[in-house]
Structure 1
């Protein structure tokens, strides 16, 4: 397990690093993360200034470990609950305080994977038919005549056979073994490391992370392997360095780091919240691209588009015709300051493009620790009303499932 000095800070906070604390390899790696918008690193006269953006997690460098704690919107007590909600995974028993382990987020995700792997081992790992080509003393399976003639020259003391047996050495299990190996490199808890090592012994040999990720991307879930979905979800999170498909735009970092982009997490949360809010009333989410997209043509360069984070299709009150409602996730403290002019312009474009002309409207959903809140922005002009923007603040101290009912009641009002 790594034994390096630890530097802890919160998202949007900064820390000074000495010249001796960063190797040239570390500087290159941090600059690569800076290009992805995860952090900022700039030189000072006597060292470096490291500033975390809207990113939390752990980053293991050559000489130090950087731990970035959630401070802005989602408290450490609830981060795993909101993350599990965004991923559609069951809330792990590790959904506890960030500070209960020295490594915080990395240990919690590793423990969530461990919990799912232990459950699969107790229930019995899935087996499937695997084709093998072996050298056996007796005939078993099908004789490989060509190999027997060219390699054994007619001798029958050893037989080249092809077998097709049910084994646990399949990709559903191998990707979990690979993720457990990555988790072992991240955790600093000796107890957790022993448990990870123990459960890894019940799984087949791991593959490389790149090969395992490609296998996960090819995985299709049926009734035979549906119970593997939660374990694969946490495995994918570890193998991508903190990101999952449709959650992060980047691919994370190499082994040794586990970073989570909080704006992307909040967008995933809002997509599920909005969809579950309108589902009981016959509503559902629809794509905001293609024929339903807002496009800009004729400018220099490629065609640009306006895409809300969620576009809801809701039944009309008085007619059979359905109406559209654009919803945008904003990872901003709109409980402390007003909505920016850029966001107002963006939401007015959505309302003009999707909602009825007599009642243009759009919704902003932002995190608000400590309680729910909502307000309505009425945008007018000398020629009349331009639209309404509903600003909803979601209490991130509560469980995410409790927010859907509040959103539903707020929108009905």
Structure 2
């Protein structure tokens, strides 16, 4: 592992980098990450000024190890709890010993993967039948007559055979070997690196990252491999550079690293939290795309669509009628500042398109760090009320399940 200068900053913070610290390849990498909304990079008199967006994690450059720490809403010690909640994965026991300082978010995810892989080893890795072709001194399995005739020319001192044995060299295990290798490259904590290195040899030969990701995208869980789901969750997070298919935006990375888009994480948290809060009241999530979306037609170009982060179907006042409640996750400082006009317009559009005309309402859910909070925006005009917007602030210092219970008692 090459020696790199470690540079730390918080999300939305900036740092100066000397021109000698960034190679041309580093500049290309950071420009690629800027196109994905992770950073902004501008030249200045001393070299470069790098500013982080709503992103946390680590990027390995040629001469710099760039660490972006959570500063806005979710504290470092709680980041793994909220991430595990969003992913629907248990919080590994070893992760409780880690914080984001000084080891970093990447070490937290690596520790989570390590813990799950150690559990799998204690229980015994899954085995399945694997077909092999080999050259043996005695007959095992079936003789490959064609290979024996064309390659050995009738000699019987060695036999071409086809075997079908139960082995651990299956995709469930191979993708974990790939993820452990990626985690080892990212971690800086010496004990964690030793533990990762020690366990890597217990897993089959690692597949290339692109092949491992394809296998993870195709995996189907049954009673035989359901216990692999948590380990595969952390492996997928590492191999995608911080993004998770169908849950967190797949930002990818042009360099080695692990970056987590915090707005995408917050959307995933709100999606699960409000769905679970509504379930005891008979509510459930409904799709807001396709024919259920709010569509704008007739303008230049293709039609545009408005879609809330979450659309809940709830029992109405009349037992035979259900109502829709649009909910949007906003990773913004709405605990300190007023809701922007653009967001008010957006939520009014949602309430007009989905909520009952006699009681149009919508919900904004944002993070905060000093206790839960709620306020109600009443929007009106000369002709009367236009709608109501409930602004819920979730205390990210609390446990996710406690926050879910608060949403249940407050919103529904």
Structures share a fold, TM > 0.5? yes
Question: Is the alpha carbon distance of 1:2 and 1:112 closer, same or farther for their aligned partners in structure 2, counting shifts above 3 Å?
Answer: farther
The Cα shift of 1:92 comes to: 2.1
2:198 aligns with 198
Give the Cα–Cα distance (whole angstroms) in 2 for the partners of residues 209 and 298 of structure 1: 44
Residues 58 and 103, structure 1, Cα contact 8 Å, conserved in 2:
no
Which residue in 1 is equivalent to 2:57? 57
Q: Deviations over 1:255-290 (max 9, x none)?
A: 631111000000000000011000111211111111
How many Å separate the matches in 2 of 1:229 and 1:145? 42
Deviation at 1:156, TM superposition (A): 1.4
Query: What residue is the counterpart of 1:242 in the other structure?
Result: 242
For residue 190 of structure 1, report the CA deviation from its aligned partner. Answer: 1.5
Distance in 2 separating the partners of 1:350 and 1:14: 35
Say whether the 8 Å CA contact 1:241–1:255 is kept in structure 2. no
Structure 1 unaligned regions, length at least 5:
none
Following superposition, the deviation at residue 254 of structure 1 comes to: 4.6
* CA distance in structure 1 between the aligned counterparts of 2:290 and 2:255, rounded to whole angstroms: 37
- Residues 86-116 of structure 1, C-alpha deviations (whole Å, 9 max, x = no match): 000001231456344x331011110000000
Q: TM-score, normalised by structure 2?
A: 0.98
Q: Secondary structure of the equivalent of 1:362?
A: strand
Q: Which residue number in structure 2 is paired with residue 71 of structure 1?
A: 71
Is the alpha carbon distance of 1:313 and 1:168 closer, same or farther for their aligned partners in structure 2, counting shifts above 3 Å?
same
RMSD over equivalenced CA pairs, Å: 1.2
2-side partners of 1:111 and 1:4: how far apart?
22
Q: Is the 8 A contact 2:32 2:254 kept in 1?
A: no
Work out whether residues 168 and 204 of structure 1, in 8 Å CA contact, stay in contact via their aligned partners in 2. yes
**1:88 paired residue number:** 88
Partner of 2:99: 98
Q: Is the 8 A contact 1:95 1:108 kept in 2?
A: no
Looking at structure 2, the residues matched to 35 and 83 of structure 1 have their Cα atoms a distance apart, in angstroms, of 24
- What is the 5 A alignment of 1:308-323? 308-323=308-323
Task: Specify the SS of the correspondent of 1:267.
Answer: helix
Task: Tell me, yes or no, if the aligned pair for 1:54 and 1:263 is still in contact at 8 Å.
Answer: yes
User: Is the CA contact 1:365–1:392 (under 8 Å) kept in the aligned structure 2?
Assistant: yes
| Partners of 1:152 and 1:52 in 2: CA distance | 63
Alpha-carbon distance in structure 2 between the residues aligned to 1:85 and 1:2: 35
Superposition deviation, residue 409 in structure 1: 1.4
Instruction: Give the match for residue 144 of structure 1.
Output: 144
Structure 2 residue 279 is the aligned partner of structure 1 residue 279: yes
Alignment partners' CA distance in 2, 1:171 and 1:39: 35
Question: Counterparts of 1:98 and 1:39 in 2: how far apart (Å)?
Answer: 24
Moved more, 316-325 or 123-132: 316-325
How many residues are treated as equivalent by the alignment?
A: 411
Task: Determine helix, strand or coil for the equivalent of 1:20.
Answer: coil
The whole-number CA distance in structure 2 between the counterparts of 1:319 and 1:184 is 56
Structure 2 residue 186 is matched with structure 1 residue 182: no
**For each residue in 1:381-404, what CA deviation from the matched residue of structure 2 results, as whole angstroms up to 9, or x when unmatched?**
111111100000000001111111
**How far is the alpha carbon of 1:2 from its aligned partner?**
4.2
Are 1:42 and 1:49, in contact at CA under 8 Å, matched by a contact in 2?
yes
Task: Report the equivalent of 2:260.
Answer: 260
> In 2, Cα distance between the equivalents of 1:278 and 1:113?
32
Kept after mapping to 1: 8 A contact 2:29/2:254: no
TM-score (norm 1): 0.97
Q: For 1:125 and 1:265, how far apart are their aligned partners in 2?
A: 31
What residue in structure 1 maps to residue 44 of structure 2? 44
Question: By how many angstroms is 1:318 displaced?
Answer: 2.2
SS in 1 for 2:77: coil
